[in-house]
Chain A
């Protein structure tokens, strides 16, 4: 799980071009969206959906279904672990 969390952090950092966020600072429990967290938006949701399909073979047809999954890096990791195809 810890390995998966670290992988996801660097994949998200790269895909979303979060240059100024170091992997050490990137808290897997912090909310990804909204003011008090990492501050991602709806386009980032779409990029994370692409990333999950590319790297783990997970398909998400409706971005709205992602709300619960994309709360934090940890919730994404849990979803990946349960549903990954590769």
Chain B
């Protein structure tokens, strides 16, 4: 079955819609420049901002200018509306799912009001809009999709491609009729300062794959595609765009660095090609993750060389145009790939001048695209590496896909729900390894390793994590330090443990699991989404054993917010790990 793209929407630094994005790419105009909207003291850092204020976006959405809504939500709602309008399909009576990739979620609002929320009860409702899941619900509602079910994927910078993978899998397994999927991420003080603490931001315009590259520029934006299994022409010439294949793997190497040989990226690209039924030389263009950091670009180049050998297709990173739009980047670049296929051109690698021996040679200026299959790479912290193959023609008929219909069973389970139990950690890890771990990381590590031990499994085939609020303790410490002491001398250790996928990737590193790795953050439904995914993987024979974890924590500040709202106070710590396997008769 082919997954058809029926429509798309995009908003980013180089344009507020697809036509203007296309024009900027063809004319070689970057959207990165001095900061205008983000209220940061780091004016020396160039950023790829969407050229609209929150008020202007509220107006576009027909809302009162004074409404307090996260910029992540505003951009997402704008892009979803565009995508729906472009697809022009009737969703009435259909099973519609909206999936979004994000990590920032409502953080831009939380950081703006955090100090005031402490003394002002009228601001308390903002607390419930902080988490990623609620931001997806809000933008689906704003886009007129109140009946749709929503899901949020949070695997840091690869979130949006993983959202597209999830949407495609749901259609293949007949769990939805129409899926609107992609990602959105607003610039926030939190992650700008976080990336700055890791010293990977360039004060000049970024230069992906260039010998002199010295880091990335952050950007923001949103992009969504409408997917369905019915054939759908997307251009006046009758062209179709299909998602032909995809791969999700884990580098399982380091929390913030990529391995030298790009193992995770290599595996993800190989899996995507295999699923698409294509050979490496069938790919005409690669939209690289290419952030501009010395480490990413060298590692990605190594992985591309491993997959494609001597015959490397045209490659470019478009982050010199858009900036690194983090969780949204995979969707923004998927839409750029679609624009390339529909308009027969290869975007240039803006900013590249000088060859680096450790890197591939990117496409220097817009070139014609002769062919019908492109690859889009998207990698994230913790080695959450994904790739998607997009084509302008359907897959050749493969004569019935393998469908094993295996049943799922629970092999083992472990729960940590009391901080007293965290002492068990030393059974599994050394003091040196434990020293950086937050409470939730400790709990998740213990419950995961206990469940795996009970199941007699060292390395599961896949790891899926569910978390409603993510790494609250480390995030709050970083946020409070930033708000109280300013945007200097912030802790990189806290930031690198703030993304939701920290848990899943840390467990992958520990268990040396290079397989499928996913993180869901959809409020109380998070675990259900994770279990559904695990059942799908086992049912379709893609994995035999899956470690599913549900991990959440609450800081005293967070608990106090809920107490003041008169709502059930979340538990200090809760971590449940389940090892799932296929039943023997499958």
Contact = CB atoms under 8 A, between A and B. Distances in A.
B198 interface: yes
Q: Is the interface of B mostly helix, strand, loop or mixed?
A: loop
Interface string A57-72: 0000011000000000
B197 A50 contact: yes
A53 B489 contact: yes
B197 A42 contact: no
A76 B91 CA distance: 64
Chain A: interface secondary structure?
helix
A43 B431 CA distance: 17
Contacts of B198: 46
Nearest to B494: A47
B432 interface: yes
A17 interface: yes
A30 interface: no
A39 interface: yes
Contacts of A46: 197-199, 492-493
A39 B199 CA distance: 21
Contacts of A85: none
Contacts of A50: 197, 489-492
A86 to B, nearest CB: 13
Contacts, number: 35
Contacts of B199: 46, 49, 62-63
Interface string B327-358: 00000000000000000000000000000000
A17 B438 CA distance: 11
B336 to A, nearest CB: 32
B436 A54 contact: no
B436 A17 contact: yes
Given A47-B491, A63-B199, A39 B435 contact: no
A80 to B, nearest CB: 15
Interface string A6-39: 0000000000111110000000000000000001
B116 to A, nearest CB: 27
A42 B257 contact: yes
For chain A, which range describes its interface: under 10, 10 to 19, 20 to 34, or 35 or more residues? 10 to 19
Given A46-B197, A46-B199, A50-B197, A19 B431 contact: yes
A44 to B, nearest CB: 8
Nearest to A16: B435
Contacts of A43: 255-256, 436, 492-493, 496
Interface string B401-445: 000000000000000000000000000000110011000000000
Contacts of A49: 199
B488 interface: yes
B44 to A, nearest CB: 11
Contact of A54 (B432, B489, B492, B493): B489
Contacts of A39: 432
Nearest to A40: B432
Given A43-B256, A43-B496, A50-B197, A19 B491 contact: no
Contacts of A17: 435-436
Contacts of B488: 53
B489 A47 contact: no
A56 to B, nearest CB: 11
Contacts of B491: 47, 50
Nearest to B198: A46
B493 A18 contact: no
B257 to A, nearest CB: 7
Interface string B550-564: 000000000000000
Contacts of A53: 488-489
Nearest to A46: B492
Contacts of A19: 431, 435
B348 to A, nearest CB: 28
A20 B436 CA distance: 13
Report, nearest first, the 10 A-B pairs whose CB atoms are least far apart: A46-B492, A17-B435, A20-B431, A54-B489, A50-B489, A53-B489, A63-B199, A47-B493, A43-B493, A43-B492
18 contacts: A16-B435, A19-B435, A20-B432, A43-B493, A46-B197, A46-B199, A46-B492, A47-B492, A49-B199, A50-B197, A50-B489, A50-B490, A50-B491, A50-B492, A53-B488, A54-B489, A62-B199, A63-B199
Interface of A: 16-20, 39, 42-43, 46-47, 49-50, 53-54, 62-63
Interface of B: 197-199, 255-257, 431-432, 435-436, 488-493, 496
